[in-house]
Amino acid sequence: MIGAFDGNEFFLDPSRCIGCQACVQACAECGTHRGVPMIHLEYVHRATGVQTAPVVCMHCEDPTCARVCPADAIKQDDHGIVHSAAKPRCVACSNCVIACPFGVPKMKVELDLMMKCDMCYDRTSVGKKPMCATVCPSGALYYGPSEYIEKFRREQPVNEFQFGRQTVRTKVNMMTSPELKALPFEVLDFLPWEGKDFDPFELSRAGAPDAAAAAVFDKTP
């Protein structure tokens, strides 16, 4: 019998994501929430580009969602997994949805219930891999031994985030530059200050591909 997690960890690298939604489709196959995907996958800003943001629950060491729950409905287990709200307790107040720094919990209005990613607990607790990370074709979601990541990836994992004044430590790892010990997180740079035309990619990455580089109408033969 293979034990829970078995030395494996979850690694997230949104920059690799191709937005294919294999994770979303596979997430709905997970036993703890069959038919209802919990992973988030959205375009960051489709009008300007195709970057997509896959987000699983990061499983915070000190989960904000659980702390703001008025009904004690969100529990963290001995493995550090933060579970969906306990069905009898959840009062569907959405505190967790609004407070989670990663935007993870989903309010199922029709069920009066918060549900969230629990790292496929039905699978990971018996030594299987989470659905999303098993199927992910780009490596944006990876579940396995950290030695693999250290050996084969150029980016390296951190599990600390600085949200302004708040430090958040998580069970799930985020891939970033090897020099960094925590993921620096900035919001102010990405706000539409002074009514400026909103283009997050201009702000985030110089030299990003430009489909209009030389494709000007007048030059079309």
Partner 1 sequence: MRLPNRAALIAGTALTLATVAGIAVGSSGMRHFDPALTGYAIGALMAAFALGYRFTVWAQRPPSRMYFKRGFELMFRRAAAVAATPSSPSVAVAPSPRAESGDEASPKRTATGASQPLFPHGAGTLGYALARNFVAQEFIRRRGGYRWIMHLCLSGGCTLAFAITFPLVFGWIHFSSFPDNAEMYHVAVFGMNVDSFSVHSFKAFIMFNLLNISAILVLIGLVMAGWRRFTDPGERATQSFYEDIVPLLLILAVTATGLALTVSYKFLAGRGHGLWAIVHMVSVVALLLYIPFGKLFHMFQRTCSLCVSRYKKVGEAGARAHCRRCGEDFASQMHVDDLKTVLDELGFDYRFEGAKGEVHYQDICPACRRGLLALNQGRTIGR
Partner 2 sequence: MATLTLPEEKYIELYGPTPAHTPAGGWNNGEPDKLVKTHCCFCGVQCGIQLKVKDNKVIGFEPWEEFPVNQGKLCPKGVKRYMQNDHPDRLLSPLIRNESGFREAGWYEALHKTANAIKDIQAKYGKDAFAFLGGASMTNEKAYLNGKFARIALGTANIDYNGRLCMVSAGAANRMAFGVDRAANPWSDIPLAKVIILTGTNLAECFPILTDYVWRARDAGAKIIVIDPRITPIGRTADLFLPVRPGRDSALANGILHVMIERGWTDEKFIAEHTTDFDKVRQLVKRYTPEVTEKITGIPAKSIIAAAEMWGTAETSMLLHARGIEHHTKGTENVLTYINLVLATGRIGRPGCGYGTITGQGNGQGGREHGQRCNQLPGGRDISKPEHREFIADFWGIPEPELPKVGLTACEIIDAIERGEIKGLLSISFNPLVSIPDSERTRKALEKLEFFACIDFFLSETARYADVVLAGSLQEEDEGTVTTGEGRCVRLRNSVSPPENARVDWKIICELAELLGKEKFFKYKNAGEIFTELTAASKGGPIDYSGMTYEKIEQNMGIFWPCPAPDHPGTPRLFEGGKFHHPDGRAKFHAYEYRPPAEDVDAEFPLFFTSGRVVSQYLSGTQTRRIGGLVDQYPEPLCEMHPLLAERLGIKDRDIVRVVTRRGEITVPAQVVKSIRPDTVFIPYHWPGKKAANLVTNRALDPISKIPEFKVCACRVEKVSDAPKLAAAGQPIPLKSK
Q: Which does 212 bind (CB under 5 to 8 A by kind): partner 2, partner 1, none?
A: partner 2
CA atoms within 13 A on the CB side of 93: 15
Report how far apart the first and last C-alpha atoms of the chain are (Å, whole number): 67
Residue 46 found at the interface with partner 1 (CB under 8 A): no
Q: Give, as ranges, the residues between 143 and 182 that touch partner 2 (CB under 8 A).
A: 152-154
Q: Which does 100 bind (CB under 5 to 8 A by kind): partner 1, partner 2, none?
A: partner 1
Residue 219 found at the interface with partner 2 (CB under 8 A): yes
Q: Give, as ranges, the residues between 83 and 102 that touch partner 1 (CB under 8 A).
A: 83-84, 86-89, 91-95, 97-102
Tell me whether residue 22 or residue 64 sits nearer to partner 1 (CB atom): 64
Residue 165 found at the interface with partner 1 (CB under 8 A): yes
The residues, ordered by sequence, that sit 6+ positions from 221 with a Cβ below 8 Å of its Cβ are none
Interface residue with partner 1, options 23, 38, 69, 85 (CB under 8 A): 69
Residue 136 found at the interface with partner 2 (CB under 8 A): yes
Number of H helices, E strands in the chain: 7, 9
Task: Give me the residue label for tokens 């030059």.
Answer: 219
* β-strands 106-108, 52-55 pairing: unpaired
Q: How far apart are CA 169 and CA 182, in angstroms?
A: 9
Q: Which does 202 bind (CB under 5 to 8 A by kind): partner 1, partner 2, none?
A: none
Stretch that binds partner 1, among 111-119, 129-137, 142-150, 211-219 (CB under 8 A): 111-119
Nearest to 121 by CA among 165, 71, 57, 70: 57
Tell me whether residue 16 or residue 75 sits nearer to partner 2 (CB atom): 16
| Contact between residue 61 and residue 215 where contact means Cβ atoms under 8 Å apart | no
- Answer positive or negative: Cα dihedral of 31, 32, 36, 42: negative
Task: Give me the residue label for tokens 């407070």.
Answer: 99
Stretch that binds partner 2, among 46-54, 85-93, 97-105, 181-189 (CB under 8 A): 46-54
Sheet holding 156-163, edge to edge: 141-145, 8-12, 166-176, 156-163, 183-185
Stretch that binds partner 1, among 31-39, 130-138, 141-149, 209-217 (CB under 8 A): 31-39
Q: How far apart are CA 203 and CA 221, in angstroms?
A: 34
Stretch that binds partner 2, among 64-72, 77-85, 92-100, 212-220 (CB under 8 A): 212-220
Q: Can you give the binding site for partner 2, defined by CB under 8 A?
A: 15-22, 24-26, 28-29, 34-35, 41-43, 45-52, 129, 131, 134-139, 152-154, 208-217, 219-221
